[in-house]
Amino acid sequence: MKPTATRKARPASKTANAKLDARYTSPKRLKTIFVGLDHLFPRAECALHHKNPFQLLVATILSAQCTDERVNKVTPTLFAKYPTAQAFAALDPKVLEEDIHSTGFFRNKAKNIIGASRQIVEKFGGKVPRSMEEMLTLPGVARKTANVVLGTAYGIPAGVVVDTHVFRISHRLKLSNGKTPENVEQDLIKLLPEDRWIAFSHQVIWFGRKICQARNPSCAECPLESLCDSPDKTV
């Protein structure tokens, strides 16, 4: 999907990061990283199944501290039972808690899903809003969730999704030394061309699942091995 808006991302965090080593952030090195990721995952997409922006928002809230596979097992029944934001907005939290129990943290997730649905119905005409500023007013929605929905569902590059994989790999590749996901996002926003923001996070998430895993990364299979100085390397 083509970007439909070019709203400038607000700074991800006000805390300045330590200066990055220019050897690791040269355009040539970045290009090599992009080529490697494009070669590995030319059509990387979000793993959460969804048919519209609202379903992606619900699935993303459910995915906190839970695998995408587990969420994908729960959502088909959930979305068949409650097909719209209005249907979720009308729910008793106890009922939704039962439906989403297996995804963990179900009380908080039910509260946030119902709260976000009510706000979407009351303030945004039943549609998930299309800006970071508006997304961040929804209960349970921080920058990561907002970036997932804006980037994947609307094609709007409002920022870069920084999940556990993007956080770890940004450090391993020395693209950031940020201590928080917000600080890593701040570095990536500065480093990456805007038309890479959406694809980069999808590709790095798959790269983290398949090759650059948290424990025992598969460095022998990694096309970025020659430019990686990470102490976590296994070759």
- Catalytic-residue membership of 21: no
In the complex, the smallest distance separating the C-beta of residue 86 from ligand SF4, rounded to whole angstroms, is 45
In the complex, the smallest distance separating the C-beta of residue 212 from ligand SF4, rounded to whole angstroms, is 3
Q: What is the DSSP string of 32-94?
A: HHHHHHHHH-TT---SS--SSHHHHHHHHHHTTTS-HHHHHHHHHHHHHH--SHHHHHT--HH
Q: In terms of CB distance, is 171 or 196 closer to ligand SF4? A: 171
Q: Are 110 and 100 in contact (CB under 8 A)?
A: yes
- Catalytic-residue membership of 38: no
The reply on whether position 172 binds ligand SF4 by CB under 6 A is yes
The reply on whether position 219 binds ligand SF4 by CB under 6 A is yes
Cα distances from 24 to residues 62, 118, 187, in angstroms, run 35, 45, 12
Q: In terms of CB distance, is 119 or 203 closer to ligand SF4? A: 203
Q: 77-103 burial by CB neighbour count: b if 16+ within 10 A, else e? A: ebbeebebbeebbebeeeebbebbeeb
Residue range at the interface with ligand SF4 (CB under 6 A); choices 113-121, 139-147, 182-190, 222-230: 222-230
**Residues of this chain, 189-218, that bind ligand SF4 according to CB under 6 A:** 211-212, 217-218
- 3-state class (DSSP) for residue 30: helix
The reply on whether position 32 binds ligand SF4 by CB under 6 A is no
Residue range at the interface with ligand SF4 (CB under 6 A); choices 75-83, 127-135, 153-161, 224-232: 224-232
Q: In terms of CB distance, is 41 or 79 closer to ligand SF4? A: 41
Among the listed residues 68, 163, 232, 233, the single catalytic one is: 163
Which of 32, 84, 108, 230 touches ligand SF4 (CB under 6 A)? 230
Residue 137: which residues within 8 A CB-CB, separation 6 or more? 119, 123
Q: Are 61 and 116 in contact (CB under 8 A)?
A: yes
* Catalytic residue annotation: 144, 163
Binding-site ranges for ligand SF4 (CB under 6 A):
172-173, 211-212, 217-219, 222, 224-225, 228, 230, 232-233
